[in-house]
Structure 1
Amino acid sequence: MWIPVMGLLAGVIIGLLTGLELPTAYNIYLVILILVMFDALLGALKASLADKFSNYLFITGVLLNLVFALSLAFLGEQLGVDLYLAPVFAFGVRLFQNIAVIRRQLLHRYQAAKKNEES
């Protein structure tokens, strides 16, 4: 579970240190990439807290979500339609759902640990 987080942190640090700038035409794709990665990390954290994490599901989920979301954005750009908004909305909703589930799982663990201390 910590390998994806460490990879993300290493990528952010390398990106900040290199000073590489992307053309503004790629901003939509970068936003979708960031949303897919955050969705994958929060989904992995949620699955890890529920003891259901699988590397294969994580990797295939990231790749398929990324390919599909970027394909929608590219198709929309070719057609002159803002289709990139569909994955942005979908991943935005999933981010908040995953955060809510993670919060509940952490609160249940905290309450269970507190009960065990009192007993």
Structure 2
Amino acid sequence: MIAFIGLLIGVIVGVIWNVDIPEKFSPYMSVAILACLDSVFGAIRANLSKNFQADIFISGFFGNSVLAVALAYLGDKLGIPIYIAAVIVFGGRIFDNFAIVRRLLIEKAKSR
């Protein structure tokens, strides 16, 4: 319930405040958002599997996003689009976690 309230507050704040992110930061923001979404879907999967741990989620949420942004920055400095690797990895993990969540929800619905 607390997570839902936090999500609702975040959406409301995002709608009220019109934040413009400069175009030069868009690769960094894209990989950071993907890393955060990967952590969220992983947390949903872990919660459905009954092995969710808040410290693992929080460390993964911030650690993954910082690492992804650092890789994007390093690639930017080297002139290589390394952020594409992060997009591929996090995108793949998001779809994997979503597939597992979907299967767990279907199995849960069938057992009722």
TM-score (normalised: structure 1): 0.86
> Could you tell me how far apart the structure 2 residues matched to 1:44 and 1:26 are?
27
Residue 117 of structure 1 is matched in structure 2 by none
1:19 is displaced (CA, Å) by 1.2
1:5 is displaced (CA, Å) by 4.5
Farther-moved stretch of structure 1 (8-17 vs 80-89): 8-17
Alpha carbons of structure 1 residues 6 and 86: separation in structure 2 relative to 1, 3 Å: farther
Residue 77 of structure 1 is matched in structure 2 by 76
> Could you tell me how far apart the structure 1 residues matched to 2:101 and 2:37 are?
14
Structure whose alpha-carbon radius of gyration is higher? 1
Residue 61 of structure 1 is matched in structure 2 by 60
> Could you tell me how far apart the structure 1 residues matched to 2:21 and 2:8 are?
19
Count of aligned positions: 112
Equivalent positions of 1:26-65 (< 5 A) are: 26-65=25-64
**Counterpart residue type for residue 111 of structure 1:** K
Alpha carbons of structure 1 residues 8 and 92: separation in structure 2 relative to 1, 3 Å: same
Query: Unaligned regions of 5+ residues in structure 2, if any?
Result: none
Residue 88 of structure 2 is matched in structure 1 by 89
CA contact (8 A) 2:36 2:62 kept: no
Residue 116 of structure 1 is matched in structure 2 by none
Write the deviation string for residues 41-98 of structure 1: whole angstroms up to 9, x where unpaired: 1111100000000001001111221121111000000011100001100000001100
Return structure 1 stretches of 4+ with deviation > 2 angstroms.
Answer: 2-13
1:16 is displaced (CA, Å) by 2.2
**Counterpart residue type for residue 72 of structure 2:** A
Residue 18 of structure 2 corresponds to residue 16 of structure 1 = no
Residue 110 of structure 1 is matched in structure 2 by 109
TM-score (normalised: structure 2): 0.91
> Could you tell me how far apart the structure 1 residues matched to 2:4 and 2:65 are?
17
Alpha carbons of structure 1 residues 85 and 8: separation in structure 2 relative to 1, 3 Å: farther
Residue 99 of structure 1 is matched in structure 2 by 98
Alpha carbons of structure 1 residues 6 and 25: separation in structure 2 relative to 1, 3 Å: farther
Alpha carbons of structure 1 residues 5 and 92: separation in structure 2 relative to 1, 3 Å: farther
